Structures are given as structure tokens and as C-alpha cells.
A and B are shown apart, each in its own frame.
Chain A
Amino acid sequence: MRRKDGTGLVRNELRLLLTAADLRLAGSDHFHGYDLARHLAAAEDAASIMSQPTLYRALRRLEERGALTSEWESLQDAAASGREGRPRRYYRLTSAGTQLAQTELQERQLQWTHGKLIPQPNTA
């Protein structure tokens, strides 16, 4: 239920963080929630997209940890995009978030390949 303070990321949070890093590498510096979920599903070749409660809960937690920052677009920009009064919220990956993702991968001995978290190959 309630997570203890100081615990690491849950799997979904790590996947989202790594997807955000991929998006930044691809040149998308900021993204909205659905964007992130859609890219994650595409990377995993999954038919279904992460559900909204799971997605936004994870994004909120990542923001609380400082791994992401967010800002709302202006109402004028929203209106120009045909979303009168419904601005989008855009997220950015922080350097702390990048570091956190790398730390989590190392500690869990995982690697991120083609949108999947897989164990690192054993090195003798």
C-alpha cells in the first residue's frame, strides 16, 4: 500500500523514466503524459497503452523525486491547438532523473533494450 520513504522506483516509474530519456535522445525535449505512454507502448511493441491512473501516479511520483519537471502550456497555445481552456501539461527529464535511471539500472543489474528492461548479461 503506502510505500516506505527511501525505496527505489517501481518498475513502471523506471520504464517511464527510461522512455523519457529515449525521447530526449530522439530530440523531444518535452512531452506530455500520453506521448510518453504511447512511445513506451511502441517501443515495447505492446498493443495496449499504460492506463491513466498508473501513468499519472507514476509521473507525479517522479516529479516529487525531482526526476521530472512539468509546466502547463499557456491557455492561448491551448486555444490555438483547438483545446479551448484545456492546456496540456508538458514534462521534462531532469539531470537528476537521468542519474536516477542509471543508478536504478546498475543497482538492479538491468539494461534497457528496445523498450524492455532485461537482466544484464553475466560477466565472468
Chain B
Amino acid sequence: MNSQTNRNLPPSVRFAHHINRVLSWGMQSQQRQTFLVETLTDWEEMHRDRGSQGVTVRALRGIPAAVWARFDEDNITALPASLAIALVGLAALGAGLLDSTYPVAVRRFIILAALGTFILGAILMSNPRRIVIRRYRLPTLMLAAGFLGMATHMPEHTEWQYDTPFVDTVIADVFMIVGFAVVGIGFSMIFAASFLAKPRVLAMVAGILIMMGTASFAGGQIAWGIAAVATDPAITATSIGVGLASLSFLHVLPRLRHLELT
């Protein structure tokens, strides 16, 4: 079976098929192949029925349905979640290494948390169907220390090096501090759970805390980035990038509950 398009197919059919390829990314490979072959033949027939506009509209209309359906997949992999986590780590590492931006103390904790995120994502990618919790002790410890360190060493807006504070509100600070603290506590709980014989309950509670903290953190990062538009585009790009990556992480995190946890 061939799920690849070719130039003989109308552009709208190829476009719709590429959307399905993106939406099905991370599905079990056999299931994905089946889905793509079935839907490609559908698009061809629909093009005969309803033309290019019909195909395009239906393809776009399928995006929310596909996103919703992915939450309920029986044969899911956590690969998108893993990649999202690893990407957040990379983005945050870049943020931490910007030497003209963050005070030194908090920068170390940013790097620690970013490395922990990246290692966690890498381990999850190596086995996206199962979480062997003891393998995550090192990254969760790094993440706990990193986020709690950021929460306690978060500079207030008056401490930034710029002559005029570009964040004249404490709301962004509070959002981020609360987010860091809650996420740090969550990862501490996962670290603790890795020593238990039955870690599932504690890990689930920790996961909920991490989601809440991530939501707060993401909101704060995006607000921070918007506030910095006129002052430092590098901060804007990094903060919004980290914020969006964190939202992506938040979006896929619930899927981890389907994984086997040992």
C-alpha cells in the first residue's frame, strides 16, 4: 500500500493528504498507514464530487476533530509528548544561555531545568509506550531543583539591567513564580514516587500539579515576551517561544496518563 501522493493528484488532494500526515503523526505506524491510504482515496473521490474547494474545506474542518480524537486514541504513542518536552528543554536552554538577559543566579537554575527537561524528553522518546519511573530520577531531580531555584531566585522587574523596567507590573512576576514553585513541587513528587512500589497515584497527582504550574508559567512567559517587544526582541522571541512550547507540552501531557507506568 502506498500512502504517498504524486504530482498527478490535484493540489487540493495533496494538501489535504499532507494535513492528515501531520495530524496522524505519532500514531502507531500500522494504524497511521491504514488511515492515510484510506483517506487519500477518499480525497480523490471527494475531489470528483465536490471539487478542490470541497476537499480543502473538509480537510481544514477535520483539524479540530483530529486533535480531539487524538486524546482518545487507544494505540497512542507518547512520541509527540516526548518531542514537545525535549523542544521545551532546548528552547529554555537557549533562554538560559542568553548572557545579556538574565541575572546569573537565576540563569543557572534555568539551565538546570532546561537540561532536565531535555533529558526527560530524550528518555521518553527512547521508550514512548512505557514510563519506567526510576529512569526519570535524574531529570526529575534536576527539574525540581531548577524550578524551585527559579521560584526563589526570580528577579523582580526592578532588578533587570535595563534603565527602565519594561515590565511595570508584578502580575507577570507572580504568575511565573507561582508556576515555577508548583512545577518544582510536582517534579519533587515524581522524584519521590520513583522510590515507591506503587507510584501511580502520587505520579498522577504530581502530573496535575505540573499541568497547573505549566499553564501559569506559559501565561507568564507569553506576557513577558509581549511586554518586552519594544525593549529586547531576543527576549520576546525566546519568551514567546518557551511559552508556546510549554502550551504544547500542556496539550500533550494528558496523553501520558495512558502509558504504562512501572
Known: A49-B58, A53-B23, A87-B1. A33 touches B65 (CB 8 A): no
Q: Is the C-beta of B61 less than 8 angstroms from some C-beta in chain A?
A: yes
Which of the candidate stretches B31-39, B77-85, B202-210, B231-239 sits at the interface with the other chain? Answer: B31-39
Pick the residue among B38, B49, B65 that contacts A38 (CB under 8 A). B49
Known: A53-B23, A56-B35, A84-B2. A32 touches B61 (CB 8 A): no
Say what secondary structure dominates the interface of chain A.
Answer: loop
- Jot down 13 A-B pairs with beta carbons below 8 A, ordered by A: A33-B38, A34-B45, A51-B62, A52-B39, A52-B58, A53-B62, A53-B69, A54-B62, A56-B39, A85-B2, A86-B37, A86-B44, A89-B38
Contact digits for A34-58, partner B, Cβ 8 Å, 1 yes 0 no: 1000100000000011011110110
6 interchain residue pairs of minimum CB distance = A85-B2, A53-B66, A51-B62, A34-B42, A51-B65, A53-B65
Asked if B62 contacts A83 (CB within 8 A), the reply is no
| Tally of chain B residues near chain A (CB < 8 A) | 29
Q: Is the C-beta of A108 less than 8 angstroms from some C-beta in chain B?
A: no
Asked if B1 contacts A86 (CB within 8 A), the reply is yes
Q: Given the complex, which residues of B lie within 8 Å of A54, measured CB to CB?
A: 62, 65, 69
Within 8 A of B (CB), among A18-37: 32-34
Tell me the nearest residue of chain A to B46, going by C-beta. Answer: A34
Within 8 A of A (CB), among B37-63: 37-42, 44-46, 49, 57-58, 61-62
Asked if B39 contacts A83 (CB within 8 A), the reply is no
Q: Given the complex, which residues of B lie within 8 Å of A89, measured CB to CB?
A: 34, 37-38
Min CB gap A74→B, angstroms: 11
Q: Is the C-beta of A1 less than 8 angstroms from some C-beta in chain B?
A: yes
Q: Given the complex, which residues of B lie within 8 Å of A57, measured CB to CB?
A: 69, 72
- List 5 other contacts, CB 8 Å, given A2-B72, A87-B41: A33-B38, A49-B46, A51-B58, A86-B1, A89-B37
Asked if A2 contacts B258 (CB within 8 A), the reply is yes
Q: Please indicate which of the listed interface residues B1, B34, B38, B65 has the most CB atoms of chain A within 10 Å of its own CB.
A: B38
* Bound Cα distance from A32 to B37, whole angstroms: 12
Q: Given the complex, which residues of A lie within 8 Å of B69, measured CB to CB?
A: 53-54, 57
Known: A34-B46, A52-B42. A3 touches B72 (CB 8 A): yes
Q: Given the complex, which residues of B lie within 8 Å of A84, measured CB to CB?
A: 2
* Bound Cα distance from A54 to B58, whole angstroms: 12
Min CB gap A53→B, angstroms: 4
Asked if B254 contacts A83 (CB within 8 A), the reply is no
Pick the residue among A3, A32, A48, A53 that contacts B41 (CB under 8 A). A32
* Bound Cα distance from A98 to B225, whole angstroms: 57
